[in-house]
Each structure stands twice: as structure tokens, then as C-alpha cells.
Amino acid sequence: MHVQASALGLIDATAESVYIGVDDTTISSGRGRKSVRITSKASFNVGGSSAATTSGLLFAFDLTHMPAGCGTWPAYWLCGPNWPSGGEIDVIEGVNTMTQDHTTLHTDQGCSMSGESTDLFTGSWSLNRAGGPSDDCWVDDPNQWSNAGCGIINTTPGVTTSYGVPFNAAGGGMYVMEWTQQFIRTYYFQRSQIPADLLDGGGGSPDPSQWSTPPYAYFTLNAESCPAKHFSDLQVIINIALCGDWGGSDFPISCPDIHTACPDYVQHNPSAFSEAFWSIRSLVIYQNQTTTEMTAAPVPAKDTATDFDAERWHPI
């Protein structure tokens, strides 16, 4: 599949970046158009009972361009087995001409964020059927839209470049997702505001407690409202979907000047997808150890700290 995608010009890699795109030259012979989905071979967990437990993981995703435009539904996400029982974390997601990123958790029953303090993040909840916060991560919650999950939109005051065309025009930026047994939280850094301890491609030890930018999304994990066990064996996925349930239903709203259904538009307008690509500088994954004993792939033990926020991270 790699050889085929490369031959079609859908993927490419240089010393500076990785390109993942959509066919933008041919009219499709059927519904849809050729695209790419990449899934990590490794799966990831936090917690456990081993002597060298990973107490947390931090994913730093640096990119200069993300897919944008009518008909697109790109995502950078993590997903576990036997969905939704293994959980899903959508870090970057949106459709069509949206300009604000949506970060969402999807789980089976028993994971709610209804008690989450909005003081912990700068974004705002997406809305449920009744116009209230979509804060139940259970994909089958009858009071929410189908498979809505618990989602936070990056409406941070002063931030206008978190997704789509504005993100690309600003030269991209970095998304950081921190996952522990106590919380999942995400940060967005505009290119000029990326912390120095994240700039060397993984050689440093990021310290979130020193960052001046607060998280735009925060989800508490605890035994009462959302046990950490809802997220396990997660694989990293980067893909570009076209139309789909969300993209197709939003298509008439975001793209009102296109007088055809989303699938027809995708099939017959290849040049419209010249901006439907990822340009990725790096994805660095850091882990934090709960003891000084090393794992099989040695990683320096954490620095001594009085609370979790002050701990520093080391690349895997």
C-alpha cells in the first residue's frame, strides 16, 4: 500500500517534512477519491502495575499545513481496539471550511465530563441536541448527536489560526496532547509561540508547568466520572476522509455556493483538493516514568517533582 500511495503522489518524505495528501488530478470513476490513512504500528498506554510504569505520555505534533476546503474531513487522532471500548482521542478534527479545531473523546458508557470546570481550559464545549454542552463521552448518549462524544472547540480568545485555511496561512504550528491517568489535555501553539523545550525535535524535556499558554481542552479522568480504563492500547492515526456523516451534513452550511451533494463534488472536482494535504515536520512522543528503573527501550527517569505538572518529559 505504501508503494501504491507513493506512486500516486499521495505520500512523500524528505529530511524536512512528510507529505500526506489526496488525489487532486483525476476525476474519480466512482464515489470518493484516493486518499491516505496512516496508523502507527505501536499502541500506547498509561498506568499499569509494572516496575517501570509509564505514568504519562505527551504527543507533540508539529506541522506546517493541514487539509482544508469543501468536502474534506481530516483528523489526527488516537483510537483503541474494539471501538468504542478502547476509547478514542481526536486531537485535530474539523470539516469543510471550519476555522476552529475540535478536540473530542469517544468512549463506551460511563465517561462523563458534566462536572468539568471550565476554568481548566480556554476553549468551549460543542453543543448537544438541546443546545447545552456535549460533555458525555459515551457515543450513544441519547441526548447528544450520534457519536458526538465530549468535544471542546478551540475558541480561545485571540486565537484565530487553530484550523484550516488560517492555520496554513500562518505557517502552521504545534499541537500537544498530554495523557495521564488523571487527565487528557491539549495545547495549541502558533508557530511563533512554540515553547523552547519543544523546538529541538525531541532532544529536550518539555515541562508543561513552564508554558505560558494554557490548554484549550481539558478532560478529567477519575473513578467517579470517567475511569482511565476507558482509554487503552491507542494507536496514532493521521488521515484525510472526504464527506462522511459529519462532512456531508455540514457541506450545505459551510459550502452554500456549491449546488451539488458532497459526494458528487468530491468525485468530479479534483483541482478543488489541491489544499487537502498534511505537511508534517515531526511527531515526537515523550513518556514519563514512575520509577528510576528503565524500560526495554531505555528512557531517562523523570526529574524529582512535587506535583505532576512540574514533571519533565523525555522522548521515547
Lowest average pLDDT, out of 34-48, 108-122, 210-224, goes to 34-48
Grid coordinates of 27: 476525476
| 191 contacts 171 by C-beta, under 8 angstroms | yes
Question: Quick count: other Cβ atoms within 10 Å of Cβ 214?
Answer: 14
Higher-scoring residue by pLDDT: 181, 199? 181
Q: How far is CA 198 from CA 137, 151, 314, in A?
A: 30, 26, 11
Query: Per-residue pLDDT averaged across 189-208, rounded?
Result: 85
Q: What is the reported pTM? A: 0.89
Q: How far is CA 98 from CA 41, 52, 72, 218, in A?
A: 31, 42, 10, 21
Establish whether 116 is a catalytic residue.
Answer: no
Residue range 94-128, pLDDT digits in tens: 999 999 999 999 999 999 999 999 999 999 999 99
Could you tell me the residue ranges of all domains in the chain? 2-315
The one catalytic residue in 93, 116, 178, 311 is 93
What CA–CA distance (Å, rounded) separates 219 from 71?
A: 30
Query: Class of 2-315 per CATH?
Result: mainly beta
What CA–CA distance (Å, rounded) separates 210 from 74?
A: 31
The one catalytic residue in 16, 88, 116, 224 is 88
